[in-house]
Amino acid sequence: MYFEFQEPPRQGATWTPTIDVCERPSEIVILVEMPGVDRSDVQLTWRDGLLIISGLKRQRPPSHGVANYICLERAYGHFRREIAVKVPIDQKNAKAELKDGLLRIHLPKRGEPEVITIPIL
């Protein structure tokens, strides 16, 4: 299995973004739904084959004046997703873009490690 998805921690997290992961010949693409999340509130971290997507979805007050909520179904708060990627990744050339509520993460694959023969002396 090339990927392992860590169950998001429920303690303290009230919202968990949904993800899609697809593999192309030259890259891994991860799509993360983030409606209403500002770019400045998202952090992407790559560490030892683990992609960590974390941040904060803020509650937006009504645009005009004070309001009493009658129904509040949208979730807000801190979030964290972890994806273990078992494919060699060229992390220096990784790119991400957040547009129209969709975070696109492009992780280019790194070439196969060079195989060499070690002479025995």
Tokens of 56: 């904060």
Cβ(52)–Cβ(44) below 8 Å: yes
Q: Among the listed ranges 1-15, 55-69, 103-117, which one has the minimum average pLDDT value?
A: 1-15
What are all long-range contacts of 111-114, with beta carbons under 8 Å and residues at least 24 apart?
112/88, 113/88
CA-CA distance, 66 to 107, in Å (whole number)? 44
pTM of the predicted protein model: 0.78
Residue 1, pLDDT above cutoff 60: no
Look at the block and give the residue holding tokens 């909520």: 69
Looking at residues 78-103, what average pLDDT do you find?
A: 93
DSSP 3-state of 86 = coil
Quick one: pLDDT at residue 121?
A: 67
- Domains of the chain, start order: 3-59+75-108 (2.60.40.790)
Q: Using one digit for the tens of pLDDT, what is the confidence trace for 70-86?
A: 787 888 899 999 999 98
Distances (CA, A) of 60 to 13, 71, 75, 78, 105: 17, 14, 11, 14, 26
